[in-house]
A and B are shown apart, each in its own frame.
Chain A
Amino acid sequence: MITRSTASIQQQAVRFTLSTPVQATLYISLCALILWTIYFTTYPAVHDKVHSLRHHTLTVSCH
């Protein structure tokens, strides 16, 4: 009984993880993280590296 419920939970977790909304959310979250790092983070090392790119892109504020 316990084994069957564990397998059921696992299957549900797999189905949930593989569901389109979750996959789409993960994908967009990763893209947002990359965009934030490149264009918006104030971490000095990153800011100095992509300074020119930021100033030459519309809607991207620098300082």
Chain B
Amino acid sequence: MPKLKISVLISVICLMSMIVYGAVGFSQTPQPTVRLTTDPAISSSNPQGVAQLVPFEAEATTYQPPARLTLQAMDASGQPLENAHIHLQIFTPSKTPWFTTDFPIVEGTTLLEIDAVAPKGELTLQQVFPIRGTYRLLAKVTPQTANAFAPFEQTLTLSIPENWVKYQNFAVLVAILLAVGIGGGWIIGGRQPIQPGEIAPQPVRLLLSGVIGVAIVALLVINVSAEMAQSGMSMPMSHMSKAAPSADQPSRIQSQELDLRLSGDTSATVGKLAQFQVTAIDLKTNQPVQDLILNLKATQLENNWVAFAYQGVSDAAGTLTWQQQFFDGAPHKIEVEVAPAPNSNRTFQPFAVAQTIEVEGVAPPLLVRLISLSYLVGVVGAGLALGLMRRQRTRLARHQTAHSVRI
């Protein structure tokens, strides 16, 4: 019996080992993957002094080009997957109302969705990332030829740190607010006897008058200068909603036996995707033209920066379809230039179609703004409390000193 028990135990151990080894072995089987590289590189892997991937900087003094993303689909052996079709979605970081970003409306939305033909399994695009945080890139890879390889999808993440200048400016702001609070608490906490005929102690009156004066001057400077900047314009201008100027090129051109048309939304709203499609038709055969080089570029017209750019090829239907979100409430221009493929029989001079998009800005949610305001007011309140406590301790110390002197 003991021998039987030992045999059973050994058998169970062997069986468990086989199952575990099989599971581990399966998980370590090479799988097709999508590799992501960025230019500039992500800060964690970036030596100091080299350009880093940062979020969009509004009103930047120097031109900030979009980041270049390259997704390479590879088979299990690490070789590029050829003749692939990549469907890419880029999702912005999740909503963070308690620590908001520049563009809270953009948080938790889809930034880009594009269907791309990837002859060499590579998809390269340029994209401006509006906010800090972890972006998700969902890449679905399918073969152009049926059954060439098994379709797969992969989710990649891209973490973008906040611009350090914002931390610096916030620290300065906190220091100023703390000083304002401490100063106010020091003055308010002082015991000031009321002189006959006075409504309030003179220092308190002076403090409140000073603060009110600063508020009035600040509001006057801001409003008067803003009014002077807008004088001469028939309509008050706002960054949040501006009429889009017409594009230099039309959205449809028939040239050199090609009918190129850019269609889609002519207006957009921050936080929502706008749909676009460019179609190329052969005027002679009335058939779609595939494998044309399409250079796509989306430019913000107010400050002339490129929000998104992509170079790809038209698919079998002669189209390139994508959806993108405009995170800045300003007019944009979508421009698509068509050029012949390097080894193509079709030769023609490149030409472009364009379309302007009105983008409606959306004010940040009131709750988000109130949360941030509460943080700043909290700093003032903390400074005020410190000032009051300090004043009280100083007064108590003087009182005790005076009492001990009398004794």
Q: Which A residues lie at the B interface, using CB under 8 A? A: 14, 17-18, 20, 23-24, 26-28, 30-40, 42, 44-63
- Determine which of A39, A50, A63 lies in contact with B270 in the assembled complex, contact meaning CB atoms within 8 Å: A63
Separation of A33 and B167 alpha carbons in the complex (Å): 23
| B170 contacts partner chain A, Cβ-Cβ < 8 Å | yes
Contact status A45-B227, CB under 8 Å: yes
- Determine which of B58, B184, B240 lies in contact with A44 in the assembled complex, contact meaning CB atoms within 8 Å: B240
Contact status A63-B239, CB under 8 Å: yes
Separation of A38 and B59 alpha carbons in the complex (Å): 17
**In chain A, what residue has the closest Cβ to B372?**
A59
Q: Dominant SS at the A interface? A: helix
Contacts of B100 in A (CB 8 A): 59-61
Contact status B222-A46, CB under 8 Å: yes
Q: A11 CB to closest chain B CB, in angstroms?
A: 10
**In chain A, what residue has the closest Cβ to B171?**
A58
- Category for how many chain B residues contact A: 35 or more
Q: Dominant SS at the B interface? A: helix
Contact status A44-B239, CB under 8 Å: yes
- Determine which of A24, A35, A44, A56 lies in contact with B373 in the assembled complex, contact meaning CB atoms within 8 Å: A35
- Determine which of A35, A38, A49, A55 lies in contact with B377 in the assembled complex, contact meaning CB atoms within 8 Å: A35
Q: B394 CB to closest chain A CB, in angstroms?
A: 15
Separation of A62 and B369 alpha carbons in the complex (Å): 9
Contact status B165-A56, CB under 8 Å: yes
Contacts of B362 in A (CB 8 A): 63
Q: Assuming the A-B contacts A27-B384, A56-B169, are A44 and B377 also in contact, with contact meaning beta carbons closer than 8 angstroms in the complex?
A: no
